[in-house]
Amino acid sequence: MSSKEEFNQISPSEFFYRNRDLAGFSNPTRSLYTAVREFVENSLDACDHSGILPNIHMTIKAVDPEKPDPKQYILTVKDNGPGIPSKHVPLAFGTVLYGSKFGLKQARGMFGLGATMAILYGQITTNKSVKVKSNEDGKTRYDFELILDIQKNKPVILKKEEKSSSEQGLSVSICLEGDYAKAGTKIRDYVYQTSLITPYATISFDDPKGEKFHHKAIIRVMPPAPTIIAPHPYGIDVETIRRMLVDTHYQIPNVDDKMIEKIRKELGMTKKKFNYNDIMKKADKKWKSLTRPVRVVIALMSFLQADFEKLQRIRIEDVDLRNNKLVYWDYSTSQTIAVDMETENPYYKQLANTVQGESLIHFLTKRFQRVGPTAASEFCKFAKFKTETRVGNMSDQELVKLSDALQTYEGFRSPDPTCLAPLGEIPLEKGIERRFQPDFMAVVQRTASAYSGFPFIIEMGIAYGGNIKSNGLKVFRFANRIPLLYDEGSDVVLKVVNDTDWGRYKVRSDSASMVIVSHICSTRVPYKTVGKENVADRPEIERELRLALQFLSRKLSSYMSKKGQAEMAKKRANLYSKYLPLIAQFCTELAGKKKEPSYQKMIKEEIVIEEKTE
């Protein structure tokens, strides 16, 4: 449903240029971090969707290392993904809002505009071009140098080269004003945490100080990719319904050369010129095999008694079913003409159906997920609509009423989570194990749930002891496989963690070395701010988080009590081996004996018993 023109009208790059704070480019520190995120996430998304195990290499280099921060840096992110067709490269990187992420499925970025924002920011601060190298087939690499024309929202190609290269993938390099001294910690955290939640990816990073960070992939299997699905009724608004109505097969097709070509083809009349009667005859014969748009055009032609030539000269203005009039504009005479439509005409019904659109029940069952015929007719009863109401005829008020009812009706099944891509318990576990080598760990993936029509899945892991360096509880927050690093305090995950009474689970949260990894997957993560760094506390999400944490805490608790028992046993054995010899010594003298009693086996037995219970 994406087309470039549509979005050009909504948001030109100038709008983003003026509002760059919104996208996370407010200052050199934040901008460097955001740019890193946007490119890395684009690469990961591209690999995910093509089923390629990601291998991403990032470098940040100072243009002049001697200068103090903030200064110019060159940021390069190279992946092994599918690359971008060379003809799309200029548009993809030189146009704001060019992208393919508009379907309803989980992806890291929302609209794919962040990368362009980064390029835009780089261009504004350094006046340097972006270098893109794309290799789709592992044979040919196309190298571009582009700048953006901000006013026109258009790319300007400075250089284009074709080279032979066996390395598939995409490499993007920009020059931008940044402050690595300040952003460095966050960027390293970001790379580290991304590797934790993407254990199937190899991510390496060469930082400006010459340090190299290499996070090798831990697993060789990718979690299943999400699928694009129809929206759920709960997540809908009036504007979306209106768009769904427009974006339908039930439109009067635009009759252009292409359309006529199509009709000819379907009727098998490609060669010769045909008159009106020939067309009608042929159409009647082949009616069953004709596609819908062709049928509609045939119907129109029958009412207008028009052949292809005439059809090309006019534009249909209105199909007025109330008065049974067909109104059209004639280019050759420059006037509006209305013709009566005979209701007996066999093509009348075809045209009428098309104009009125599908019936409501059909619209609901076909265009939404989780709505079957029963649910749809139940809903119509609830919303006081007739099931056979034609959606094309609905007034604005009716649309509002429909939209409201869709969100208040409680009979729909919960959203379909197949559009989500949780990491999965095993990869999550492997990731945690590799990073922390904890003494204890547990992971859980909750079943899918939904908040206001958006499905989501909570995944959570807990790790204790081992190589965990932190003293106290550390929470790693992720949303759609993106680490959330800023604004920790106001996040719903933190709220749930802080509400937990750890004492109940035999954990001293202030001193224990403990890590919680929380991953929220959703088609729309409810971020509190545009910065997309903290998740709002929706009751449904909070509930799922709580249940996940409780489940894990109970497991931890049972580990802790086992550990406690083992420690007790050890302590006890120590006490016995300390005091029993003393008792033996004293009582031997008290009793006036010469030889000490043989108590040694008591100490050993005690240890053996305790080891078994452990």
**Residues at the site binding another protein, with contacts judged by CB under 8 A:** 571-572, 575-576, 578-580, 582-584, 586-593, 597-599, 601-602, 605
Smallest distance from another protein to CB 43, Å: 59
Smallest distance from another protein to CB 599, Å: 4
Smallest distance from another protein to CB 590, Å: 2
Contact 250, 293 (CB under 8 A): no
For residues 469 and 594, which CB has a smaller minimum distance to another protein in the complex? 594
Question: How many other C-beta atoms lie within 10 A of the C-beta of residue 541?
Answer: 24
Contact 139, 149 (CB under 8 A): no
What whole-number distance in Å separates Cα of residue 132 and Cα of residue 143? 6
What whole-number distance in Å separates Cα of residue 218 and Cα of residue 191? 15
Q: Choose among 78, 95, 77: nearest CA to 36.
A: 77
Question: How many other C-beta atoms lie within 10 A of the C-beta of residue 429?
Answer: 20
For residues 337 and 575, which CB has a smaller minimum distance to another protein in the complex? 575
Task: Assign 472 to helix, strand or coil.
Answer: strand
Contact 479, 503 (CB under 8 A): no
What whole-number distance in Å separates Cα of residue 440 and Cα of residue 515? 10
Smallest distance from another protein to CB 465, Å: 24
For residues 286 and 563, which CB has a smaller minimum distance to another protein in the complex? 563
Smallest distance from another protein to CB 612, Å: 18
For residues 25 and 576, which CB has a smaller minimum distance to another protein in the complex? 576
Contact 154, 13 (CB under 8 A): no
Smallest distance from another protein to CB 558, Å: 23
DSSP for residue 222: P
For residues 539 and 592, which CB has a smaller minimum distance to another protein in the complex? 592
Q: Choose among 22, 31, 134: nearest CA to 73.
A: 31
Smallest distance from another protein to CB 510, Å: 27
In angstroms, the Cα distances linking 519 to 101, 241, 403, 415, 424 are 21, 31, 31, 19, 10
Q: For residue 79, count CB atoms less than 10 angstroms from its CB and return exposed for 0-12, middle for 13-18, buried for 19 or more.
A: buried
For residues 4 and 593, which CB has a smaller minimum distance to another protein in the complex? 593
Smallest distance from another protein to CB 508, Å: 22
For residues 1 and 590, which CB has a smaller minimum distance to another protein in the complex? 590
- H or E segment to which residue 435 belongs: helix 425-436
What whole-number distance in Å separates Cα of residue 103 and Cα of residue 190? 27
For residues 157 and 568, which CB has a smaller minimum distance to another protein in the complex? 568
